[in-house]
């Protein structure tokens, strides 16, 4: 297992997520959990949804196996890039001129006046989708060369841009802050593209794209594009269950009390930190290696990587899950309770965070096991499993949203995560899972976790007494 690459990628993601938390702390101070914070989060939701879907593996897991197998890599890569970029540009232009319908789709429960005020923010933020596609495409080429640091670190540029906007405008009225944040999103996306272009040039991969453009008519890659198409849509669906579920939850939250969208956003930001720096960082690094190993019929090597990564994730995500559930109150208090973010809003966010944390371990391990489905071109199987998870999540969201509010939406997402994990393991192979479980690490896990739980419980009691 490539531990050095995993830790390098984890550090980059950690740096990006820490700057993201800094951004959210300032945002909570400037806007609290208010009407304008809800409006900005709704406007940013769709491009952020696609950022997570694209950047956290869906595009890569469809593109990488096809790219590895391609006989004319430059031509194939250029053809896919141009097709997506032209489509997204056209889509963004439509949203720019007609932002109200898409805004209404994101916030069914809002009044016409609130939709009208949010629509311009939606139009601005949507262009980030075009920028993040360029970033994701270039990042996939760099992953092929097993370079991960630039992509892991680059999200910090988005956060720094938004922090700068907050620093300059946070004393202004909430409307001005929301618009400043929206334009900062685009500036941050432009900086991410620039960073990847510089790295691409350093690895001399620009020659691949230039050659692909030059010889695009001389070499036929129709069969390869057709194969990519057969993988892409199932790959998107199979890899995006948590994002689609969160997207639907945002829509449902608009029917709940004011601030519910913000409670979900702030709690999800904390939940995403361990998921990203542990599970996503590990899966991102392992995917090119697993794809190449399976292509070369080296299954034993691929499954050995799986076993080592499984226990790394189990210990780290298990500890994070326990810590997040037991210490949710001091975490939210420390990060967000200042300025316009009140103690009542802290309690609401704490309840949501605890429900999210129940799903941390299964979501992380499902991410790991799904690598083998995508690397072996079983994208349709992964999509089918994702549908099971999504249907479960949405069903429980509708059941739990009224008795539990935003917390019920978060709990429903966690239930969907457990369904995703169980069915993914079943498809990869229960025998392989049991082979991993039957090891000395299982005994170690069963000893360490209860001890860790006890320690965290007493530490939380002490800290909670101090902050109250």
Q: At residue 220, what are phi and psi to the nearest 5 degrees?
A: -90, 120
- Hey, what are 248's tokens? 């639907």
**C-alpha to C-alpha distance for 74 and 67, rounded to whole angstroms:** 9
Predicted confidence at residue 323, as pLDDT, reads 93
Residue with tokens 């995508």: 374
The pTM for the full model equals 0.71
Cβ burial 159-172 (10 Å sphere, 16+ → b, else e): bbbbbebbeebbee
Please list, in sequence order, all residues whose beta carbon lies within 8 angstroms of the beta carbon of residue 253, skipping any fewer than 6 positions away: 260, 261, 263, 264, 406, 409
pLDDT in tens, 88-133: 899 899 999 999 888 887 777 788 888 888 899 999 999 998 998 8
- pLDDT at site 54: 62
Q: Which helix (H) or strand (E) holds 408?
A: helix 406-437
**Helix then strand then coil, % of the chain, to nearest 5:** 85, 0, 15
Distance in angstroms (rounded) separating the CA atoms of residues 127 and 319:
38
Q: Please give the Cα distance from 365 to 316 (Å, whole number).
A: 11
- The pLDDT assigned to 217 comes to 67
* CA pair distance 295, 303, nearest whole angstrom: 13
**How far apart are alpha carbons 367 and 353 in whole angstroms?**
20
pLDDT in the model for residue 9:
72
Helices (H) and strands (E) in the chain, counts: 21, 0
What whole-number distance in Å separates Cα of residue 241 and Cα of residue 393? 9
434, exposed or middle or buried, with CB in 10 Å at 0-12, 13-18, 19+?
exposed
How many other C-beta atoms are found inside a 10 Å radius of the C-beta of residue 8?
Answer: 18
Residues of the chain with pLDDT under 50: none
Nearest CA to 144 out of 246, 295, 308 is that of: 295
> For residue 276, with 0-12 CB atoms within 10 Å meaning exposed, 13-18 middle and 19 or more buried, which class applies?
buried
Q: Alpha-carbon distance 284 to 53, whole Å?
A: 13
pLDDT at 298: 72
Q: Could you give the CA distance from residue 412 to residue 431 in angstroms, rounded to a whole number? A: 29
Q: How far is CA 340 from the centre of its chain?
A: 27
What is the residue extent of each domain of the chain?
A: 3-467
Residue 399, token pair as written in the block: 């059941």
The terminus-to-terminus CA distance of the chain in angstroms comes to: 45
What is the CB neighbour count within 10 angstroms for residue 23? 24
Report yes or no: 407 and 355 within 8 Å, Cβ to Cβ. yes
Question: What's the CA gap between 76 and 227, in Å, rounded?
Answer: 11
Q: Which pLDDT value is given to residue 356? A: 94
- pLDDT score at 53: 66
- DSSP tag of 439: S
Q: What Å distances lie between residue 148 and 11, 143, 293, 336, CA to CA?
A: 11, 6, 19, 31
**Model pLDDT, residue 1:** 53
Instruction: Kindly tell me the sign of the dihedral angle through the C-alpha atoms of 176, 178, 182, 187.
Output: positive
> What is the C-alpha separation between 118 and 38, in angstroms, rounded?
9
């Amino acid at each position: 297992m490539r531990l050095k690459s995993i830790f390098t990628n984890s550090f980059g993601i950690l740096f990006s997520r820490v700057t993201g938390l800094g951004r959210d702390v300032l945002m909570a101070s400037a806007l609290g959990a208010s009407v304008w914070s809800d409006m900005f989060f709704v406007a940013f939701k769709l491009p952020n949804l696609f950022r997570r879907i694209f950047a956290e593996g869906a595009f890569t897991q469809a593109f990488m196996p096809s790219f590895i197998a391609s006989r004319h890599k430059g031509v194939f890569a250029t053809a896919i890039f141009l097709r997506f970029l032209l489509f997204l540009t056209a889509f963004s232009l439509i949203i720019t001129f007609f932002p109200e319908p898409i805004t209404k789709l994101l916030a069914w429960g809002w009044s016409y006046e609130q939709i009208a005020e949010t629509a311009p923010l939606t139009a601005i933020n949507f262009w980030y989708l075009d920028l993040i596609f360029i970033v994701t495409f270039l990042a996939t080429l760099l992953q092929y060369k097993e370079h991960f640091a630039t992509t892991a670190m680059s999200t910090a540029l988005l956060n720094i841009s938004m922090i700068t906007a907050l620093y300059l405008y946070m004393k202004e009225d909430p409307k001005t802050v929301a618009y400043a944040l929206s334009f900062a999103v685009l500036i941050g996306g432009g900086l991410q593209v620039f960073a990847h272009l510089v790295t691409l040039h350093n690895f001399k991969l620009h020659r691949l794209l230039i050659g692909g453009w030059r010889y695009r008519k001389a070499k036929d890659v129709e069969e390869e594009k057709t194969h990519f198409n057969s993988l892409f849509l199932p790959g998107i669906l199979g890899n995006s269950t948590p994002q689609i579920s969160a997207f639907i939850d945002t829509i449902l939250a608009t029917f709940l009390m004011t601030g519910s969208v913000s409670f979900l956003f702030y709690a999800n930001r904390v939940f995403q930190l361990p998921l990203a720096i542990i599970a996503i960082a590990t899966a991102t690094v392992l995917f090119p290696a697993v794809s190449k190993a399976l292509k070369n019929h080296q299954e034993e090597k691929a499954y050995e990587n799986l076993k080592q990564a499984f226990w790394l994730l189990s210990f780290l995500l298990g500890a994070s899950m326990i810590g997040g559930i037991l210490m949710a109150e001091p975490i939210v208090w420390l990060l967000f309770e200042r300025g316009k973010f009140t103690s009542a809003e802290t309690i609401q966010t704490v309840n949501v965070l605890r429900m999210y944390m129940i799903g941390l371990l299964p979501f992380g391990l499902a991410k790991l096991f799904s690598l083998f489905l995508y690397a072996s071109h079983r994208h349709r199987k992964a999509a089918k499993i994702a549908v099971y998870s999504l249907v479960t999540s949405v069903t429980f969201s509708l059941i739990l949203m009224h008795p539990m509010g935003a917390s019920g939406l978060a709990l429903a997402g966690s239930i969907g995560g457990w369904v995703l994990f169980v069915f993914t393991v079943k498809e990869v192979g229960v025998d392989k899972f049991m082979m991993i479980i039957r090891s000395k690490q299982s005994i170690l896990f069963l000893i360490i976790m209860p001890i860790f739980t006890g320690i965290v419980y007493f530490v939380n009691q002490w800290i909670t007494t101090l902050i109250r």
